[in-house]
């Protein structure tokens, strides 16, 4: 059977993955076999999300009625019902549902009624609390088919420490990254000297390490020194896979979807208040603004080096009329030339303009020419892919260390 759970946490605490990990252990104690624990991230632009729009799925061998009862009991015990935005959902199905619903949930928006309709048709055991919105994520989790997958080991705190400052040895995190990158990523941000994998929110997660496989995340995890953890779970995930991106065309983008779009830089990049960089890109008569916000740090230097005429692919979510850049490919660079008055070949002095469209004249010897001094300005930006740093990376965004997009 597949058990899907979502929407159990609030900004004040809890985490659906923790509930999933606790449930997995209880199922094992009941002699059920947990074949896979899966963590799926869904559309990052859903406004109801608490943090990273995660839902979980457990693939379990055992009695579905018993498992459903246990999952519901854990939700009742652990979910933060006090929060208006916490609307849990639990689903148990005997086989994976049609992946179309998952695809829509990760790339687009879904309605609660659509999830309920699918669950009724599949004869699923399900329960939704309060407005039942969690049924969307829970249904998406049990319908997920992962074309590409990564791993994350989530190390959870002992319950007595929830809400207190976390103790994870910084140097050991940098050492873990150095020893296992590029097979693990986003443990730390070496360029910006920041720890990325330890949350600052009051949830049960102590730290999480993302990587290509259980073997690699485990190898990195073993190098991390920290307070005594309560529980650990390796999740199969769609994180770092670009599962949210769809190919889009400028002029036909929908609010809240995440795209890969081609365009030509239409104007010089502008840096606004707060250090946010904006860039217009065009496709025919249509244009769209791309944003590299201040938290994207050094990535903004790349965007600032683009010039009108450069051909790019921009990747990111389309929100309020702008694409929030996650990564970008410089496909072809426009040639940048500067035009200056020419130098007189006889006097070796720079000539002066003889009036608009009238060419240039040497003040000393009176020689004239119509040919300006044209110089190619060397570009400092190479073609290729560029990405935001680990501190600014979204869960679903595929890091370039996993291989360049096609
Ligand atoms: P949690 O750890 O509790 O899962 P979270 O940050 O992952 O926290 P949720 O609290 O789950 O966010 O809130 C997201 C809500 O949005 C859930 O109710 C989920 O069912 C719903 N949801 C997820 N994806 C979509 C979508 N594509 N369209 C509409 N609703 C969605």
Q: Report pLDDT digits (tens) over 213-222.
A: 999 999 999 9
pLDDT tens column, 304-361:
999 999 999 999 999 999 999 999 999 999 998 888 999 999 999 999 998 888 999 9
Structural domain spans, the chain: 2-143, 150-237, 246-335, 337-376
Whether the per-residue pLDDT at 96 is higher than 80: the answer is yes
What pLDDT, on a 0 to 100 scale, did the predictor assign at position 171? Answer: 98
Site to substitute for ligand 1 among 46, 74, 140, 238, most atoms within 8 A of C-beta: 46
Whether the per-residue pLDDT at 79 is higher than 90: the answer is no
Long-range contacts of 276-285 (CB under 8 A, 24+ apart): 277/303, 277/304, 278/322, 279/303, 279/306, 281/250, 281/312, 281/314, 282/250, 283/249, 283/250, 283/251, 284/251, 285/251
Query: What is the arithmetic mean of pLDDT over 135-152?
Result: 98
Residue 12 DSSP label: T
Distance 171 CA to ligand 1 centre (A): 34
Whether the per-residue pLDDT at 276 is higher than 80: the answer is yes
Entry pTM: 0.94
Please identify which residue in the block is written with the tokens 């990747």. Answer: 315
Contact between 291 and 324 (Cβ < 8 Å): yes
Q: Which ligand 1 atom is nearest residue 105's CA?
A: 27
> Band of the pLDDT at 272, cuts 50, 70, 90?
very high
What pLDDT, on a 0 to 100 scale, did the predictor assign at position 85? Answer: 87
Give domain 2-143's CATH number out of 3.30.465.10, 1.10.620.20, 3.30.70.2200, 3.30.565.60.
3.30.70.2200
What pLDDT, on a 0 to 100 scale, did the predictor assign at position 84? Answer: 85
Distance 85 CA to ligand 1 centre (A): 10
Whether the per-residue pLDDT at 9 is higher than 90: the answer is no
Q: Which ligand 1 atom is nearest residue 104's CA?
A: 27
Site to substitute for ligand 1 among 47, 134, 199, 235, most atoms within 8 A of C-beta: 134
Distance 299 CA to ligand 1 centre (A): 29
Alpha-carbon distance values, 164 to 21, 199, 206 (Å): 21, 12, 11
What pLDDT, on a 0 to 100 scale, did the predictor assign at position 81? Answer: 86
Q: Averaging pLDDT over each range in 14-23, 172-181, 353-362, which range is the top one? A: 172-181
Other CB atoms within 10 Å distance of the CB of residue 115: 29
CATH, domain range 150-237: 3.90.600.20
Average pLDDT, the chain: 96
Residue % of the chain over a pLDDT of 90: 90
Task: Name every protein residue with a CB atom under 6 angstroms from any ligand 1 atom.
Answer: 6-9, 15-16, 42-43, 46, 48-55, 87, 105, 109-110, 133-134, 136-137
Whether the per-residue pLDDT at 406 is higher than 80: the answer is no
Distance 141 CA to ligand 1 centre (A): 11
Q: List beta partners, residue 233.
A: 154
Q: Which ligand 1 atom is nearest residue 88's CA?
A: 18
Q: Residues 6 or more apart from 287 whose CB is under 8 A from it?
A: 250, 263, 266, 280, 281
What pLDDT, on a 0 to 100 scale, did the predictor assign at position 218? Answer: 98
Whether the per-residue pLDDT at 14 is higher than 90: the answer is no
Query: What is the arithmetic mean of pLDDT over 45-63?
Result: 93
What pLDDT, on a 0 to 100 scale, did the predictor assign at position 48? Answer: 83
pLDDT tens column, 232-254:
999 999 999 999 999 999 999 99
Q: Whose CA is nearest to atom 18 of ligand 1?
A: 134
> Band of the pLDDT at 364, cuts 50, 70, 90?
very high
CATH, domain range 246-335: 2.40.50.1010
What pLDDT, on a 0 to 100 scale, did the predictor assign at position 51? Answer: 83
What pLDDT, on a 0 to 100 scale, did the predictor assign at position 245? Answer: 98
Q: Which ligand 1 atom is nearest residue 42's CA?
A: 24
What pLDDT, on a 0 to 100 scale, did the predictor assign at position 122? Answer: 97
More confident residue, 84 or 91: 91
């Amino acid at each position: 059977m597949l058990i899907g759970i979502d929407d159990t946490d609030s900004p004040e605490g809890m985490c659906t993955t923790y509930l999933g990990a606790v449930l997995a252990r209880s199922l094992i104690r009941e002699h059920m076999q947990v074949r896979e624990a899966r963590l799926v991230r869904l559309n990052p632009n859903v406004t109801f999300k608490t943090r990273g729009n995660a839902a979980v799925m457990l693939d379990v061998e055992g009695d579905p009625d018993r498992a459903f009862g246990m999952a519901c009991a854990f939700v009742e015990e652990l979910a933060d019902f006090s929060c208006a935005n916490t609307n849990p959902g639990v689903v148990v199905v005997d086989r994976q549902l049609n992946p179309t619903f998952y695809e829509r949930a990760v790339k687009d928006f879904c309605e609660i009624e659509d999830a309920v309709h699918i669950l009724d048709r599949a004869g699923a055991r399900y329960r939704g609390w309060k407005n039942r919105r969690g049924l969307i994520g829970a249904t998406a989790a049990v319908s997920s088919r992962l074309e590409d997958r990564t791993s994350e080991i989530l190390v959870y705190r002992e319950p007595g420490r929830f809400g207190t400052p976390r103790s994870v040895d910084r140097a050991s995190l940098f050492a873990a990254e150095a020893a296992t990158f590029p097979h693990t990523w986003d443990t730390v941000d070496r360029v910006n000297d920041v720890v990325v994998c330890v949350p600052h929110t009051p949830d049960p997660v102590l730290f999480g390490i993302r990587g290509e496989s259980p073997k690699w995340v485990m190898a990195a995890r073993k190098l991390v020194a920290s307070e005594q953890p309560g529980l650990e779970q390796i999740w199969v995930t769609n994180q770092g896979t670009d599962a949210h991106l769809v190919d889009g065309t400028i002029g036909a983008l929908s609010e809240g979807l995440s795209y890969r779009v081609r365009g030509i830089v239409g104007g010089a990049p502008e840096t606004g208040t707060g250090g946010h960089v904006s860039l217009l890109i065009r496709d025919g008569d249509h244009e769209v603004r791309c944003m590299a916000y201040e938290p994207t740090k050094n990535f903004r230097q790349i965007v600032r080096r683009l010039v009108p005429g450069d051909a790019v692919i921009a990747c990111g979510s389309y929100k309020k009329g702008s694409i929030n850049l996650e990564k970008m490919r410089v496909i072809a660079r426009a040639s940048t030339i500067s035009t200056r008055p020419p130098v007189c070949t006889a006097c070796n002095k720079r000539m002066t303009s003889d009036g608009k469209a009238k060419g240039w004249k040497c003040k000393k010897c009176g020689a004239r020419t119509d040919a300006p001094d044209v110089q190619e300005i060397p570009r400092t930006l190479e073609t290729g892919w560029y990405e935001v740093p680990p501190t600014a990376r979204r869960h679903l965004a595929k890091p370039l260390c996993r291989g360049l997009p096609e």
